[in-house]
Structure 1
Amino acid sequence: MNLDDPRAQRSRARLRTTILELAAVKDPAAITMSEVAKRAGVNRATVYQHFPDVNALLTDAMEEAMTHVARAAALCPLDARRDDAPQPLNALFRHIADSATLYRRMLGTQGCALFAARMRERLTAELAASFREGRRPAGFNDVRAEVHAAYLAGALMGVIATWVTDESPAPAEETALAFWRLFRH
């Protein structure tokens, strides 16, 4: 299959849209490839040509969200005051709040393990790259940049997962500030 073919691109886009629509209203573990195919208006073989399973399709569809989260985390200015969360971090938590149902389904206890792993990997890679470019907090030169990045990525993923699964979550800005204070500590 040629992924540059416009027909393949349209099919993949339709499948991504469909899986996100389904995941917003239904537990991803309960979604079948047949259901995706039917709702997307393609045959099941077409779905399998592009994706081996629902988790791979869902993770691919969430790629833009993962990129958004990773870039926002890497863009936080290191000189922001402890009591003033940086704008990229506030924007990140507002983005997650706007799609809370989807993130809850993806990161909750019944969520998609592949998505969580890929998001953590993406966060780690973005943060490590940022650290190598000189955007690393002072005082951590005795720790490898990749280990430091993995630590922060895990912490951010934990805060996001806890926040979106909370029955009465704090406002986005309050959660961003709490994370920033922990990060700056």
Structure 2
Amino acid sequence: MDPRSMRSREALRRAALDLAAGRPVAELSVAEVCRAAGVTRDTFYRHADAPVSLLADALRAELDSVLTGIGDLDSLSTAEGLLLDHVRAHVDVYRGALQPSLAAPVRDVLERVVAAGLEEWLERHPEIEPPAIDDLPSRAIAVAYAAGGTVAAIEVWLRSGAADVTWATRAILAASPEWWLR
């Protein structure tokens, strides 16, 4: 991507995050995101098809940097804490994306990032895999189940109004199959 296009993408991402922190993402318009980013509608549509898609892209970019190298962390508890720290840092954005469930593009980003992290964790720690999921289809099911459950738990945490990351981390891990935590 050329530097000008990268600057536009970053301006759009920042505008989407800033605007979504102030009100529900469903109320954001392309025109106001363009104004806030200082770009044209044409530029907007070269980077996204809707404000919620742009918001999901911005969150994905942050999550990618937050959870880089998850397999090198000392525990899944640490990784879960990093994920929830990110959500808490953008709590107004995530709560604004609840309609009553997370908007599909935002939910998809969270599930994909969590699933990729769990895949990386299993690659680095193959000793934790129980024999029942030692084939790829079974592993994919276990990862999808854990990722979906984690995101559903985050939605409940967001709706509850709680902000305590340590409490939420413990609650999510307590609901996880024991073998993930070995």
TM-score range for the pair, normalised by the shorter chain length: 0.7 to 0.9
Tell me which residue corresponds to 2:131.
141
Q: Retained in 2: the 8 A contact 1:107–1:116?
A: no
CA distance in 2, matches of 1:5, 1:73: 30
Measure how far apart 1:77 and its partner are.
4.5
Measure how far apart 1:176 and its partner are.
0.9
After superposition, the C-alpha distances for 1:5-48 in whole angstroms (9 at most, x for unaligned) are 11111111100000000111111111111111112112211111
From the superposition, tell whether residues 95 and 117 of structure 1 become closer, same or farther in structure 2 (CA, over 3 Å). Answer: closer
> Of the candidates 101, 105, 129, which is equivalent to residue 114 of structure 1?
105
> Of the candidates 3, 7, 10, which is equivalent to residue 13 of structure 1?
10
Q: Retained in 2: the 8 A contact 1:72–1:88?
A: no
In the comparison of the two structures, how many residue pairs are matched? 174
Measure how far apart 1:162 and its partner are.
0.6
CA distance in 2, matches of 1:68, 1:105: 22
Q: Which amino acid aligns with 1:157?
A: V
CA distance in 2, matches of 1:25, 1:163: 20
- TM-score normalised by structure 2 residue count: 0.81
1:131-170 to 2 correspondences below 5 Å: 131-135=122-126, 137-138=128-129, 140-143=130-133, 144-167=138-161, 169=162
Q: Which amino acid aligns with 1:166?
A: S
Measure how far apart 1:76 and its partner are.
6.0
Q: Which amino acid aligns with 1:50?
A: H
Q: Which amino acid aligns with 1:40?
A: A
Query: Equivalent pairs: percent with the same residue?
Result: 25
- TM-score normalised by structure 1 residue count: 0.80
After superposing on structure 2, the runs of 4+ consecutive aligned residues of structure 1 that deviate more than 6 Å are none
Tell me which residue corresponds to 1:89.
80
Please give the secondary structure, in 1, of the residue aligned with 2:158.
Answer: helix
Structure 2 unmatched runs, 5+: none
Q: Which amino acid aligns with 2:22?
A: V
Q: Compare the two structures and name the one with the higher helix fraction.
A: 2
